[in-house]
Amino acid sequence: MEYEAFLEELDKRLAAYFNEYKEYICCEVGCSYCCEKGDYPLSDIELQYLMKGYILLDNAVKQAVRNNIKNMKKGGVCPFLLNNKCSVYAFRPIICRVHGLAYLCNKNTVKVPYCVNYGKNYAKVYANGEIEINPIKENLDTGFVLSKFNYNEIRNLCDWLR
């Protein structure tokens, strides 16, 4: 599948970025700040891929995810987060893959990870809305990253699943 090959190349670039900026990144297994509050924008191609991962889950995990979806609110916990771990990690969307990195999304706007507010990623070089280091100069926003694909729209995960 072309999308899977694309993700493989993207993941290589992202791994290099995470390595280059590792002194500013605090991500570790079990940390789930990024999954506990957000809108999780994703495209239809990402949703299809995410559901491919969902189908592979065992029935008990699927039921837990379905229960989470029933209780899902905009700006809330991702329904695929179970016991502080992503149940579909290998199939996660772009926003989840790039989370943790600070990057330029246009000439003047730097996106920093949400967890900077909790003293996590980039917190030691971020204050008063300003970052003291050069961010990644690649736009890692979902729509820009997926620009080579023909996706219909980007919507909040909550809107896709309801």
Q: What pLDDT is attached to residue 75?
A: 86
Sign of CA dihedral 39, 41, 44, 50: negative
Task: Please report the pLDDT score of residue 38 as a whole number.
Answer: 85
**pLDDT attached to residue 116:** 92
Q: Is 29 helix (H, G, I), strand (E, B) or coil?
A: coil
Residue 24: what pLDDT? 96
DSSP string covering 86-110, please?
ETTGGG--HHHHHTT--EESSSS-E
**Residues forming a β-bridge with 44:** none
Across 15-48, b (16+ Cβ under 10 Å) vs e yields eebbeebeebbbbeeebbbbbeebebbbbebbbe
Give the pLDDT score at 162: 81
Contact partners, residue 37, CB within 8 Å, separation at least 6? 75, 76, 77, 114
What pLDDT was estimated at residue 27?
A: 86
How confident is the model at residue 40, as a pLDDT?
92
**Calpha distance 96→110 (Å, rounded):** 17
Q: What is the pTM of this model?
A: 0.93
Structural domain harbouring 86: 2-161
Pairing of β 85-86 and β 154-156: unpaired
Number of domains the chain is built from = 1
**Mean pLDDT per 10-residue section of the chain, whose length is 162 residues:** 94 97 90 88 96 98 96 91 96 96 91 90 92 95 92 92 86
How far apart are alpha carbons 76 and 45 in whole angstroms? 22
